[in-house]
Amino acid sequence: MSATRSLQFDVRDVGLAGQGKQRIDWAEREMPVLRLIRERFAVEKPLNGIKLLACAHITTETANLARALQAGGAEAVLIASNPLSTQDDVAASLVSDWGIPVYAIKGESTETYNRHLRTALDYRPDIVIDDGSDVVATLIKERAAQVKELIGSTEETTTGIQRLEAMQAAGVLSFPSIAVNNAQTKHFFDNRYGTGQSTLDGIIRATNILLAGRNFVVAGYGWCGKGVALRARGMGANVIVTEIDPIKAVEAVMDGFRVMPIAEAAALGDIFVTVTGNRHVIDGLHFERMKDSAIVCNSGHFDLELNLVALREMSHPPLNIRPFVEEYKIKASGRRIIVLGEGRLINLAAAEGHPASVMDMSFANQALSVEYLVKHKGELEPGVHVLPREVDTEIASLKLRALGLSIDTLTAEQVEYISRWETGT
């Protein structure tokens, strides 16, 4: 516990560190790419003297990212990117075993979340790792002078990148930000297979329901939606997809799913999951049409995909049935709507988020993005950037090697063929 002596932090109970450390080590076994980066960082110290604020889900995988950044020489402070996703034992271990200041408590109020964010900003970071762009938005809105101290930021998720692009369009993004989510080794795997599996894990842990034979509605057929739909079908559910993008809708049809507007799906669904990054995708008029005991949850970044304000207004006060399960009885019809995880990301609220094996690649991208920002300090234009393609390819190559797999390489004849235009029919 010596590491905690002079450290400022706000976690539930430092006494939980033992269990947290064991779980962090367990996740590390599934994160070989991040381990290789950590080992290189420990030798090269590319982040020496860098103050870093990481706003992330405080999970075992994030702890391993923090270890890698610390090995690289960074002084990191961590805050939760969501009030319900913190693993209190992990937060305790980071403080106690690694001496990293953490401000995160599972179930913290919005006021505490905001206080933690501002306390962490008082560390005056050189680099921000953001998840949803709350830190960057707060900096821009409230601390214009401090923005000038920033080397840059990285952004983990789709919703955060949408917000950064809006900031760029509004002319207020005055530093470079790396869109980690846009790396192929991030969204192909994390958003699709990570969200696909862990969303079902969250629903099942919260309810213990059988998915086989149920009508399972997925709102949004982007990277996350594709994963959720694929895995729900694998569990025997009848999947219905709702979309607003005609191309994604055709894709869902050709992948073998029923596609219809949410107003129609509302009456058919037994279970609903939103993964759109959009607001009020399930609204009051949809709740009205749902069957008795329909289960509704969200796996998109913010808790506004379900219009719970409307649901509260049309219902009696909710009953807490079991952890992460609330029942709303609609006054007009007497029908019950079951809301999971208060409409927050269900995979992190009721389960443990993505498995470490996919976070390995997402967080390899985070670590390399931070290194890239430091290496190119002062050289990058303000705005949203993606990591060079070679970095993506390198991460995938390391992952393949870790999986014990090898692939073919182009022969000299093939290199020659694909670089020329003369040969045809």
Which residue ranges make up the site for ligand NAD (CB under 6 A)? 157-159, 187, 191, 195, 219-225, 242-245, 248, 275-278, 281, 299-301, 345, 347
Least separation in angstroms between residue 126's CB and ligand NAD is: 25
Least separation in angstroms between residue 379's CB and ligand NAD is: 29
Q: Which residue has the tokens 């059988």?
A: 210
Pairing verdict, β 127-130 and 152-155: parallel
Least separation in angstroms between residue 325's CB and ligand NAD is: 18
Nearest CB to ligand NAD, comparing residues 38 and 301 = 301
Residue closest to 226 by CA, chosen among 203, 256, 181, 183: 256
Q: Which residue has the tokens 């706003």?
A: 55
Side chain identity, residue 332: A
- Distance CA(293)–CA(144), nearest Å, equals 48
- Distance CA(257)–CA(249), nearest Å, equals 9
Residues 6+ apart with CB under 8 A from 248: 221, 222, 225
CA atoms within 13 A on the CB side of 238: 8
Least separation in angstroms between residue 406's CB and ligand NAD is: 30
Nearest CB to ligand NAD, comparing residues 72 and 220 = 220
Least separation in angstroms between residue 265's CB and ligand NAD is: 10
- Distance CA(229)–CA(217), nearest Å, equals 8
Tokens of 175: 């530093």
Nearest CB to ligand NAD, comparing residues 78 and 95 = 78
Least separation in angstroms between residue 302's CB and ligand NAD is: 7
Least separation in angstroms between residue 250's CB and ligand NAD is: 12
Least separation in angstroms between residue 21's CB and ligand NAD is: 24
* Phi, psi dihedrals of residue 206, rounded to the nearest 5°: -70, -35
Burial class (CB in 10 A: 0-12, 13-18, 19+), 13: exposed
Nearest CB to ligand NAD, comparing residues 259 and 380 = 259
Dihedral sign from CA coordinates of 201, 301, 196, 156: negative
Least separation in angstroms between residue 330's CB and ligand NAD is: 22
Nearest CB to ligand NAD, comparing residues 176 and 300 = 300
Nearest CB to ligand NAD, comparing residues 37 and 200 = 200
Residue of minimal Cβ distance to ligand NAD: 222
Nearest CB to ligand NAD, comparing residues 225 and 318 = 225
In sequence order, the β-bridge partners of residue 130 are: 155
Nearest CB to ligand NAD, comparing residues 315 and 362 = 362
Pairing verdict, β 336-340 and 325-329: antiparallel
Nearest CB to ligand NAD, comparing residues 144 and 250 = 250
Residue closest to 86 by CA, chosen among 23, 12, 1: 12
Least separation in angstroms between residue 158's CB and ligand NAD is: 4
Nearest CB to ligand NAD, comparing residues 47 and 55 = 55
**How far, CA to CA in Å, does 394 sit from each of 45, 257, 399, 405, 406?**
20, 35, 9, 14, 13
- Distance CA(18)–CA(405), nearest Å, equals 35
Nearest CB to ligand NAD, comparing residues 11 and 224 = 224
CB atoms within 10 A of CB 235: 16
- Distance CA(229)–CA(242), nearest Å, equals 11
Least separation in angstroms between residue 169's CB and ligand NAD is: 17
Helix axes 17-28, 356-375, angle to 10 degrees: 90
In sequence order, the β-bridge partners of residue 330 are: 315
Tokens of 164: 């950064």
